[in-house]
C-alpha cells in the first residue's frame, strides 16, 4: 500500500523501568531505615576488653565461641609468652644434632605457612596461619627437648609458656552465641528501638527523632557484640506516590539500594497518614548481610518493570478486545497485533505474542504463519487510521 503521510514515532528503547511517581519526578533517592533481628551478647566482665574469636561479619552457629574477655594482665602475659618463644627458638637453633624426621617435617610445615602468610589478606586466615605456625613451633620444641643436650632447659621454657597460656585461658570469660547468625561488633544502642518486635508501632516521627545520618556506619565496640539474623530484615520508608496509594500488604516490588544492588522485597505493612504519606515497611531476604553496618540507607522503589518496546499510547488501536499498532516500513503500512504488558498515561510497553498465545486467542496456524511482528527501530504511526490499512 502507498505510504500515507502521518506522524511517526521511532522506537529507540527496549526496556522501560518505571519507578514511583515521586522518584521519577523528583529525581532523588528515598531514605529508608533498616530494622533487623539482632541479639545483643555480653558477659559478666564488660569492664574488660573483648578478644574476638569470630570476627566481624563471620557466621556463628548457636553455642559456638564468639569472643572472650581478656584476662586482667593479658598484655603482660602475652609479652612473656613472646619472650619465651624467642628463647625456645634460640635454644633449638643452637643444637646441631637434631636429625629427627619429625623435626624436618615440622620445619617444612612452618616454612610453608610463613610463605603462604604473605599471600593472605583476610584477617581470619592470617590469624589461623599464625596459630598453626605457633602450634608447629611448640611441637618442634617438644621434640627438640627430648633429643638435645639442652632438653631440660627447653622443656622448662615450654612448661613456663604453657603456664602463662593456661593462666590466660583460666582467667578469660568465653562467650558463646545464643543463636546462629552473623557476628557484629558494631553497636549503636538502637538494637532494641529498631527491632523486629517494634515493627507494628514504628512511624516516621519515631524514626526521624533518632537523628540518623544516611550511610553512617556504627562504631565498633570492644565490650559487647551482637548476633544478626542474616536471612531477613526490614526497611521502613515513607512514600508519596500513586503506586504507594494503591499498594497493599503482600505486594512485591524491587528495591534499588544506594550501593547499586537491586533486591526483591515484599510489603509487610503500609499505613496512610491521611495526607498522602504512606509509611511502608518492606521485608527483604537478599543481600541482608550487606546492610548489617547501616541503619539509614538511600534507596529507590521500583514498582514494576517489564521487558518490551516503549510506544506512545496514541499509536495503539484497540479493536474487538485486541491491540494493534501500524508500522511504516519503506513507505508501506502494516497493522500489527501486539500485546500490551503495561501502560501509564503517556506510554505503553508492548511485545509480540508467542505462537501459543495466538493459538489460545483463536488464531489458526495459517493466520499465525502470515502475521508480521514488531521490532526495535520500526517506525510506528501516531493516531493511525485503520480504515486506510489492510
pLDDT tens column, 301-320: 988 777 778 888 888 999 88
Same domain, 229 and 257: yes
- Asked if residue 53 is part of any domain, the answer here is no
- Asked if residue 28 is part of any domain, the answer here is yes
Whole-number pLDDT of residue 238: 94
DSSP three-state, residue 106: helix
The Cα-based distances of 56 to 69, 150, 260 in angstroms read 16, 44, 23
N-terminal to C-terminal alpha carbon distance within the chain:
8
Same domain, 193 and 142: no
Say whether pLDDT at 237 is over 80.
yes
Whole-number pLDDT of residue 259: 74
Say whether pLDDT at 212 is over 90.
yes
Question: In this structure, are residues 370 and 358 in contact, taking their beta carbons and an 8 Å threshold?
Answer: no
- Asked if residue 52 is part of any domain, the answer here is no
Same domain, 138 and 209: no
Percent of the chain at pLDDT > 70 equals: 77
| Beta-strand pair 252-257/262-272 | antiparallel
- Asked if residue 95 is part of any domain, the answer here is yes
Other CB atoms within 10 A of residue 253 CB: 20
Distance between CA 297 and CA 254 in Å, rounded? 15
In this structure, of 26-30, 95-99, 297-301, 368-372, the range with the lowest mean pLDDT score is: 95-99
Say whether pLDDT at 24 is over 60.
no
Q: Comparing 209 with 142, which gets the higher pLDDT?
A: 209
Whole-number pLDDT of residue 253: 92
Question: Of 3-12, 129-138, 175-184, which has the strongest mean pLDDT?
Answer: 175-184
pLDDT bucket at 285, cuts 50 / 70 / 90: very high
| Beta-strand pair 296-302/252-257 | antiparallel
Whole-number pLDDT of residue 72: 81
Same domain, 326 and 229: no
Same domain, 350 and 260: no
Q: Render pLDDT for 315-333 as a digit per residue (tens, 0 to 9).
A: 899 988 899 999 888 888 8
> Vertex 354, ends 351 and 358: CA angle to 5°?
105
Say whether pLDDT at 27 is over 50.
no
DSSP-assigned letter for residue 218: P
Question: In this structure, are residues 295 and 310 in contact, taking their beta carbons and an 8 Å threshold?
Answer: no
Please state the rounded mean pLDDT for residues 166-191: 90
Distance between CA 120 and CA 129 in Å, rounded? 9
Same domain, 289 and 212: yes
- Asked if residue 65 is part of any domain, the answer here is no
Please state the rounded mean pLDDT for residues 285-301: 91
Same domain, 378 and 283: no
In this structure, of 161-165, 178-182, 272-276, 354-358, the range with the lowest mean pLDDT score is: 161-165
Residue 262 is placed in which grid cell? 537491586
Please state the rounded mean pLDDT for residues 126-149: 61
Same domain, 297 and 189: yes
The Cα-based distances of 32 to 92, 189, 196, 300, 332 in angstroms read 61, 18, 15, 9, 52
Distance between CA 190 and CA 204 in Å, rounded? 16
Please state the rounded mean pLDDT for residues 49-77: 89
- Asked if residue 383 is part of any domain, the answer here is yes
Q: Comparing 72 with 19, which gets the higher pLDDT?
A: 72
What counts of helices (H) and strands (E) characterise the chain?
9, 20
- Asked if residue 143 is part of any domain, the answer here is yes
Whole-number pLDDT of residue 2: 36
Question: In this structure, are residues 210 and 57 in contact, taking their beta carbons and an 8 Å threshold?
Answer: no
Q: Comparing 87 with 369, which gets the higher pLDDT?
A: 369
Give me the residue label for grid cell 540518623. Answer: 212
Whole-number pLDDT of residue 94: 58
Q: How far is CA 13 from the centre of its chain?
A: 30
Same domain, 159 and 210: no
- Which of 240, 272, 302 terminates a domain? The answer is 302
Whole-number pLDDT of residue 67: 93
Number of domains in the chain: 3
Instruction: Give the residue from 35, 41, 32 showing the smallest Cα distance to 195.
Output: 35
- Asked if residue 46 is part of any domain, the answer here is no
- Which of 261, 281, 302 terminates a domain? The answer is 302
Mean pLDDT taken over the chain? 81
CATH code for the domain of 360 = 2.40.420.20
Same domain, 127 and 236: no
pTM value > 0.75: no
Say whether pLDDT at 157 is over 60.
yes
Question: In this structure, are residues 260 and 287 in contact, taking their beta carbons and an 8 Å threshold?
Answer: no
Q: Render pLDDT for 1-19 as a digit per residue (tens, 0 to 9).
A: 333 333 444 443 333 333 3
Distance between CA 280 and CA 262 in Å, rounded? 18
Residue 299 is placed in which grid cell? 534507596
Whole-number pLDDT of residue 348: 86
- Which of 282, 302, 322 terminates a domain? The answer is 302
Instruction: Give the residue from 309, 319, 320 showing the smallest Cα distance to 342.
Output: 309
Structural domain range at position 84: 71-171
Same domain, 190 and 295: yes
Same domain, 295 and 203: yes
Amino acid at each position: 500500500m502507498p505510504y500515507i503521510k502521518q506522524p511517526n514515532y521511532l522506537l529507540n528503547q527496549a526496556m522501560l523501568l518505571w519507578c514511583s511517581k515521586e522518584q521519577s519526578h523528583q529525581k532523588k533517592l528515598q531514605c529508608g531505615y533498616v530494622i533487623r533481628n539482632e541479639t545483643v551478647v555480653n558477659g559478666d566482665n564488660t569492664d574488660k576488653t573483648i578478644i574476638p574469636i569470630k570476627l566481624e561479619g563471620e557466621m556463628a552457629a548457636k553455642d559456638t565461641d564468639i569472643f572472650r574477655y581478656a584476662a586482667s594482665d593479658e598484655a603482660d602475659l602475652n609479652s612473656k609468652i613472646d619472650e619465651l618463644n624467642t628463647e625456645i627458638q634460640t635454644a633449638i637453633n643452637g643444637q646441631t644434632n637434631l636429625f629427627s624426621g619429625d623435626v624436618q617435617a615440622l620445619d617444612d610445615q612452618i616454612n610453608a605457612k610463613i610463605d603462604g602468610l604473605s599471600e593472605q589478606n583476610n584477617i581470619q586466615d592470617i590469624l589461623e596461619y599464625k596459630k598453626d605456625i605457633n602450634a608447629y613451633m611448640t611441637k618442634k620444641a617438644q621434640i627438640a627437648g627430648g633429643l638435645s643436650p639442652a632438653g631440660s632447659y627447653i622443656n622448662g621454657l615450654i612448661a613456663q609458656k604453657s603456664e602463662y597460656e593456661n593462666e590466660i585461658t583460666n582467667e578469660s570469660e568465653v562467650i558463646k552465641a545464643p543463636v546462629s547468625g552473623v557476628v557484629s561488633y558494631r553497636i549503636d544502642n538502637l538494637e532494641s528501638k529498631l527491632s523486629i518486635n517494634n515493627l507494628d508501632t514504628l512511624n516516621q516521627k519515631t524514626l526521624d527523632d533518632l537523628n540518623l545520618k544516611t550511610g553512617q556506619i556504627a562504631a565498633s565496640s570492644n565490650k559487647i557484640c551482637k548476633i544478626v539474623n542474616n536471612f531477613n530484615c526490614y526497611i521502613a520508608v515513607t512514600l508519596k506516590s500513586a503506586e504507594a496509594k494503591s499498594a497493599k500488604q503482600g505486594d512485591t516490588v524491587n528495591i534499588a539500594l544506594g550501593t547499586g544492588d537491586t533486591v526483591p522485597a515484599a510489603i509487610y505493612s503500609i499505613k496512610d497518614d491521611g495526607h498522602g504519606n504512606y509509611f511502608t515497611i518492606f521485608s527483604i531476604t537478599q543481600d541482608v548481610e550487606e546492610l548489617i553496618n547501616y541503619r539509614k540507607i538511600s534507596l529507590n522503589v521500583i514498582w514494576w518493570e517489564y521487558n518490551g518496546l516503549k510506544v506512545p499510547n496514541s499509536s495503539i488501536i484497540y479493536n474487538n478486545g485486541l491491540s494493534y499498532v501500524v508500522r511504516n516500513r519503506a513507505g508501506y503500512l502494516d497493522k500489527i497485533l501486539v500485546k500490551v504488558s503495561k501502560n501509564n498515561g503517556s506510554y505503553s510497553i508492548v511485545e509480540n505474542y508467542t505462537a501459543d498465545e495466538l493459538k489460545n486467542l483463536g488464531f489458526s496456524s495459517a493466520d499465525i504463519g502470515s502475521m508480521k511482528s514488531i521490532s526495535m527501530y520500526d517506525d510506528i504511526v501516531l493516531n493511525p487510521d485503520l480504515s486506510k490499512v489492510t
